[in-house]
Structure 1
Amino acid sequence: MNKDVLQGKWKEIKGELRKTWGNITDDEFEKTKGDATAIAGIVQQRYGLAKEDASEKVSSLMDKYAESTKDSLRENRDKAERNRDH
């Protein structure tokens, strides 16, 4: 995930991570600085998941935010182009 996207969406992503894995504290998520590998490590430890499973689940959740951000940027760019053409 792009660093800018991560910074802009971190609170939302962290909220979703907390909903999914409530036994992990905000402090622990903050210490990862949004690093998916570090988050997956905590998830793996706390929930007893296999490393691959934890990584896949964390990546999947974070990818949703990357895609929604790309869609928003694309929509904004399209609107700007339409406004410029009129």
Structure 2
Amino acid sequence: MNTDILKGKWKQLKGKAQQQWGELTDKDVDIIEGNTEILSGKLQERYGIEKDEADRQVQAWFKKYN
């Protein structure tokens, strides 16, 4: 998904992000604002996973909503 498109759809998708990753707080999703790098970083922080795994999860999730 194009980053610009993602940022435009973020208000619609942020609830789905919280369903996918329940550890994300409302503040987290507000900070992310559709930025894949920030989302990946928040997943690493909240779930204690490696960067490669967080990036893989983010890309798979975005493909679902593209």
State the TM-score bracket (shorter-chain normalisation). 0.7 to 0.9
Structure 2's unaligned 5+ residue stretches are none
Letter in 2 for 1:58: V
Compute the TM-score of the two structures, normalised by the length of structure 1: 0.65
Counterpart secondary structure, 1:22: coil
**Which contiguous aligned blocks of 4+ residues in structure 1 show a shift greater than 6 angstroms?**
none
Aligned length: 64
Question: What is the one-letter code of the residue matched to 1:32?
Answer: I
Instruction: Return the index of the structure with the highest Cα Rg.
Output: 1
Q: Secondary structure at the match of 2:65?
A: helix
> Could you tell me which residue of structure 1 aligns to residue 10 of structure 2?
10
Instruction: Report the secondary structure of 2:34's partner residue.
Output: coil
CA RMSD of aligned residues (A): 1.4
Cα-to-partner distance string for 1:41-62 (whole Å, 9 max, x where unaligned)? 0101110111100111011111
User: 1:6-40 CA distances to partner (integer Å, 9 max, x unpaired)?
Assistant: 21x32332122101111111221111221111101
Alignment of 1:42-53 (within 5 A): 42-53=42-53
Q: Which consecutive residues of structure 1, in runs of 5 or more, have no partner in the other structure?
A: 67-86
Corresponding residue for 1:27? 27
What percent of counterpart residues are identical?
36
**Structure 2 residue aligned with 1:61:** 61
Aligned residues of 1:13 and 1:62 also touching (Cα < 8 A): no
